[in-house]
Every structure is written in C-alpha cells, then in structure tokens.
Amino acid sequence: MPAIATQGLTRSFGPVTALSQLTVEMPTGVVGLVGANGAGKSTFIKILLGLLPPTSGTATVLGLDCLSDGLKIREVVGYMPESECLPPDVSATEFIVHMARMSGLPTDVARERTADTLRHVGLYEERYRPIGGYSTGMRQRVKLAQALVHDPQLVLLDEPTNGLDPAGRDDMLELIRRISADFGISVVVTSHLLGELERIADHIVSIEAGVLQHSTSTAAATEFSGMMLVEVTDRGPEVVERLHALGAKVTTGAQAHSFVVAIKDEQVLDDVRSVVVDLGVGLIRMQRGRHHLTEMFSTPQEALHG
Ligand SMILES: Nc1ncnc2c1ncn2[C@@H]1O[C@H](COP(=O)(O)OP(=O)(O)OP(=O)(O)O)[C@@H](O)[C@H]1O
C-alpha cells in the first residue's frame, strides 16, 4: 500500500487553482515534495491531513480517505507546520506534554514520550528553558517533536529547514533521515530546494503551479542518468571513433584524450576496455559520474559530478 495516493486532486481558492488534477502515489520511506513558493505544497499537506477539503478528486493517507477519515488520519500522522506556532513563555517539556495530552495520551505516558522525543531531536538538555529564548533551529526541533510525540506512522513536514543556516540545515536533514531509518516512520518533507531533498529522500515528487511535474525514485533517476568520464594516454580521437562504431554515445570536449561516454548498459564498460587494449593505449581513468536530480529536472546536460 502506498503511503499516499491521490486521484485528480484539485483545490481552488476563488480564481487561484492551488492544486490541479494531481494524480500521484508516494511510497513509504522518505518522500521529498519540491516546488517553488506558492506551488501548492502546503495546500496539498492540509488536504492530506483532512484539514482542507479538495474542490474535486480524492486522496488517501495510509489507506484512509482524507475527506471522511480526517480524525483517524490525525491519530496516525504527525504534522510539522511551516508557520511559527510556539508559545514563547512555556518550556519545550510543558508544550510537548500538552500536545501529547491533546492527542489522547495519559499524563504519565505523555511525560515519558515527551522526554524520549526531546532527547531524540536533541533538545533534552534545554527542555526546561522557555521556548522564547530558543534559536530558530531549536524552535524547528520543538515543532518536529510535537509532530512525533504521539508515535505516528507517518509525518508530514512542511519546510522544516526554512530559516536555518547551513549547519542547522544539515542537522535537520540528518534528523529527518533518522526518523525514517531508526523508527520506521514514513516522512513526507517539503522544500523549495531540490538539492537538499535529493540528499535524504528515497522518492521525489515535484509540483509547479499546482501541477505534477515529476514523480521518481531517487535511485532510478540517478542511475538512469549515468555518465562516465574516460581519459586515455593518447590516440583519443581514434578511441572515440571505435566506440562510435560500436554504437556508444560519446561526447567530446576540448581535451583530445578525454571524453564522456553514456552508460546505457554495462556492455559499454567492456567496449571501452577492449578498444583501449586493441589500440594499445593507456587508460588513465574511467570515472562514473552521477547527475544530480537538480540538473535532470531542469535541462539535462552532460556535465559530470564526481
Ligand atoms: N486560504 C487561501 N486563500 C486564497 N489563496 C490561497 C489560500 N491558501 C493558498 N492559496 C494560494 O494557493 C497557492 C498555493 O499556495 P500554497 O501555500 O499551497 O503553496 P506552497 O507551495 O506551500 O508555498 P509556500 O512554501 O510559500 O507556502 C498560492 O497561490 C496561494 O496564494
């Protein structure tokens, strides 16, 4: 069963269509939902939580219908909103215990879960200080903790890295990855930065102006775009000519003895080796490159990344 499935999901606000005919399946694991500001990410998340009804179309979360099973969905799903929503004059412990109690946990269980969750997000030492004195990174962690405290099966995280400096971003991304890896909780995380989602997501969905652009597994996307940089000691043009004759797709650049070969299958690796041996030239390197999704999602190019 997919974590999330939608069929023709559409939501309009007057003349604005925030989501348009979105049909997509998201697997369990970490899914990155990417789109520019205003692309419709927050609207999508609110519909999934059963907080906002769609104009048309359907959506399910863990097999539950977003329109009719909203209450049940909020029991098994955690939500970290984008906006600042924390009271400044209570401590993280007080706030998280309160949220745990609101979700129906008895007081002693709520206290225990709060301590565990705050430890997990790295706020255990600071847990009795008022939230008002926290840094942005710490406040983001409190928001994350309240999404996790009732032990959900899935969490929806809306722009969790917003406002963080590079080190804070790295820590938050690492934490998100661990939520899935250590606890088996599925994650849908939104960002306007594809590069950061690419680092942690198993699957990427991108939307633009409410319309689905891509839905792809991260591994398949990077494998599909495999390229290899080949450098030989001499007779570069002859090597290229032979490879062309064998049906390989080769792109040459300014350097006579280095070129880029598309890896359409493993055969091409053997072809390079045998051509080099046949011509008696030395092989300096065969370096497999990896296209970043960032490039694939814009214009495919033949640049290589180590
Ligand atoms: N309650 C509302 N009333 C009117 N328009 C809305 C409402 N909520 C969202 N919109 C519009 O719908 C579009 C999508 O907004 P949404 O907040 O879902 O985008 P987003 O991708 O989450 O962007 P951001 O990261 O900036 O929040 C925008 O054009 C926005 O102005």
The residue whose CB lies within 8 Å of the most ligand 1 atoms, and thus the one to mutate among 9, 11, 12, 16, is 16
Cβ of 20 closer than 6 Å to ligand 1, yes or no, is: no
17, 19, 20, 42: residue to mutate for ligand 1 pocket, most atoms within 8 A of CB? 42
Dist. CA 159 → ligand 1 center (Å): 13
Q: Whose CA is nearest to atom 25 of ligand 1?
A: 37
CA 160, CA 171: separation in Å to the nearest integer? 11
Q: Are 2 and 62 in contact (CB under 8 A)?
A: no
Crossing angle for the helix pair 136-148 and 166-183, nearest 10 degrees? 20
Give percent of the chain above pLDDT 90. 70
- Determine contact, residues 239/276, Cβ cutoff 8 Å: yes
pLDDT at residue 306 is higher than 90 = no
Token output for 75: 């029991």
4-216 belongs to CATH 3.40.50.300: yes
Ligand 1 contacts CB of residue 160 (under 6 A): no
* Lowest-confidence region among 71-80, 90-99, 154-163, 214-223: 214-223
**pLDDT tens digits, 168-218:** 999 999 999 999 998 999 999 999 888 889 889 999 999 999 999 889 888
Could you list the beta-strand ranges (E) of 16-71. Answer: 16-26, 30-34, 56-61, 64-65
Determine whether the shortest distance from the Cβ of 39 to ligand 1 is under 6 A: yes
pLDDT grade, residue 295 (50/70/90)?
low
Span of 89-103, 105-119, 254-268 with lowest mean pLDDT: 254-268
Is 27:4 a contact under the CB 8 Å cutoff? no
Residue 142 Cα, ligand 1 centroid: separation in angstroms? 24
CA distance 208 to 38: 8
Whether the predicted pLDDT of 113 surpasses 70: yes
Name the closest-CA residue to atom 24, ligand 1.
Answer: 37
Q: What region does 216 belong to: left with phi over 0, alpha with psi -120 to 50, or beta?
A: beta
H helical segments located in the chain: 41-48, 70-76, 92-102, 107-120, 136-148, 166-183, 194-200, 218-224, 236-245, 267-279, 293-297
CATH 3.90.1170.30 describes domain 226-289 = no
**Structure tokens, 45:** 């998340």
**pLDDT in the model for residue 70:** 87
Q: Is 256 in the pocket of ligand 1 (CB under 6 A)?
A: no
pLDDT at 278 over 50: yes
Domain residue extents for the chain = 4-216, 226-289
Question: What share of the chain in percent tops pLDDT 70?
Answer: 92
The token pair that represents 215 in the structure block: 């839905």
Dist CA 251 CA 261 (whole Å): 6
Q: Is the pLDDT of residue 292 over 60?
A: no
Helices (H), 14-91: 41-48, 70-76
Token readout for 241 is 């000519």
pLDDT at 267: 84
pLDDT in tens, 13-71: 999 999 999 999 999 999 999 988 889 999 999 999 999 999 999 999 999 999 999 88
Ligand 1 binding pocket includes 35 (Cβ within 6 Å): yes
DSSP state of 298: S
pLDDT at 111 over 90: yes
Beta carbon of 51 within 6 Å of any ligand 1 atom: no
Tokens linked to 267: 């055969």
* Residues 6 or more apart in contact with residue 245 via CB below 8 angstroms: none
Tokens of 54: 């769609």
What b/e sequence results for 40-66 when a residue is b if at least 16 CB atoms lie within 10 Å of its CB, and e otherwise?
bbbbbbbbbbbebebeebebbbbebeb
What's the average model confidence in pLDDT over 63-92? 93
269: exposed, middle or buried (C-beta count within 10 Å: 0-12, 13-18, 19+)? Answer: middle
Per-residue 3-state assignment (H helix, E strand, C coil) for 221-274: HHHHCCEEEEEECCCHHHHHHHHHHCCCCEEECCCCCEEEEECCCCHHHHHHHH
Q: What is the mean pLDDT of the chain?
A: 89
| 217-226 tens-digit pLDDT | 887 765 555 7
